[in-house]
Amino acid sequence: MPKRIAPLTDAKVRTSKPTEKPQKFFDGGGLFLLVTPAGGKLWRLKYRFGGTEKLLSLGIYPQTSLVEARQKRDQATVLLAKGVDPNDTKKAQKAAGTQETETFEIIAREWFAKFSPTMAASHAKTIIRRLELFVFPWLGGRAIKSISASDLLSVLRRIEAKGALETAHRVKQVCGQVFRYAIATGRAERDPSADLRGALPPTSVKHMATMTDPKDIAGLLRAIDNYRGSMVTRCALQLAPLVFVRPGELRQAEWSEVNLETAEWRISAEKMKAGVLHIVPLSKQALDILQEIHPLTGHGRYVFPSPQTGSRPMSNNAILAALRRMGFAKDEMSGHGFRSMASTLLNEQGWNRDAIERQLAHAERNSVRAAYNYAEFMPERKKMMQSWADYLEEIKARAKTIPFQAAG
């Protein structure tokens, strides 16, 4: 039989002396006192979570007594039984500045710590910022079980009153995720956000300005070729319709992501809205543009660096500002418009809808499936991207437009 550990006593803790090596005095349930060579007495809890052994700091003796250390151990044991990592809760408590474990803010920060690694960095930053600005000041200190639908609606109404209706809807969605996480971990019984269906006015759908008439597209492409601004901006504008990625993904393109030999641009997961690696097959025309700009920016990190400093990418507004300087109004064309342009025409001309959606990197509802299917439909996507580039080149060159037919 395994040797039973005798529980610690106050006298044992008080009279333990430092030695040349750290000493551990176990109390049971994973709790132990670590006595350092310098004389420090530190309470630690050893536990396993997700198959990994971890340590939790529970305080310093004598500020934290043996009784208090045992209470903290028991609290951690309850969290573990609910499938919650005590270290996540401790970090959330520290961020919230409280010792409570079941307030809305504690559980929200705990949820965020667990799931934010699966989000794009910019999206994660937006979520926590919205919670800190719009929710925590009013509901953060409340026990999550005590929050009603009317309490949450009051918070949402404040956001709506600022003219940020879409943000109010987004905050409602995030709060719903927090409540459902609390239910799953045994710290709430229901999700009050579910009772607010229809409580907020619907948001109006915003359509990004784009062009889908081949004559208009041809004029836009010729204007881009004749752009008299910087070479970096011109090349970015020329590449945009060929790859139809989001403006932020384009401006942050790095040479380390581009393989000119295999004709692929691999955008890392942290840059993508869906948080999954994205592959962009590069057409011959796209390769020509990259090879043209490589002597100018290839020695640095970014394909399209800022003119002020090569250590940063070009600004958020560089593409949009260039379109305006060329005379395209905000209701005619936008930076996102290249995506809508490609999506509309590729669907109209019969390409596989799933291949189009995958190339547009639209979020996959099943995050696990998305993580393994970033290369899905790749042969067809390569064929589609080259055919699309050939079509754009041909309508630009001709005075009269031609119909675009999907190969195969």
What residue type is 220 in one-letter code? L
Catalytic residue among 142, 180, 190, 362: 362
DSSP state of 305: B
- Residue 249: closest CA among 121, 408, 375, 369: 121
Facing residues of 59 across strands?
43
Q: Check 339, 358, 381, 396 and give the catalytic one.
A: 339
Residues 19/26, Cβ–Cβ less than 8 Å: no
| Pairing label, strands 258-259, 52-60 | unpaired
H or E stretch including 288? helix 284-297
First-to-last CA distance in the chain? 72
Query: Which candidate in 273, 294, 324, 383 is catalytic?
Result: 273
Query: Are the C-beta atoms of residues 131 and 108 closer than 8 Å to each other?
Result: yes
Nearest 5 degrees, angle CA 17-CA 19-CA 20? 165
The 3-state secondary structure of 255-277 reads HHHEECCCCEEEECHHHCCCCCC
> Which residue among 123, 125, 372, 398 is the active-site one?
372
Active site residue 336: yes
Q: What is the dihedral of CA 53, 58, 61, 62, to 10 degrees?
A: -160
Name which of 253, 252, 249, 223 is nearest 238 in CA terms. Answer: 223
The catalytic residue among 73, 246, 271, 381 is 246
Q: Which residues pair with 33 in a beta bridge?
A: 25, 43
The whole-angstrom separation of Cα 276 and Cα 295 is 30
CA–CA separation, 111 and 106 (whole Å):
9
Q: Which residues of 47-82 are buried (b: 16+ CB within 10 A; e: fewer)?
A: bebeeeeeebebeebeebebeebbebbeebeebbee
**369 labelled catalytic:** no
135 and 108 in contact (C-beta within 8 Å)?
A: yes
| 294 is known as an active-site residue | no
Interatomic CA distance for residues 210 and 330, integer angstroms: 9
Count Cβ atoms within 10 A of the Cβ of residue 378 and give its class: 0-12 exposed, 13-18 middle, 19 or more buried.
middle
User: Quick check: is 362 catalytic?
Assistant: yes
Query: Is residue 246 among the annotated active site residues?
Result: yes
Structural tokens at position 397: 């060159």
Active-site pick, 172, 336, 358, 382? 336
| Residues annotated as part of the active site | 246, 273, 336, 339, 362, 372
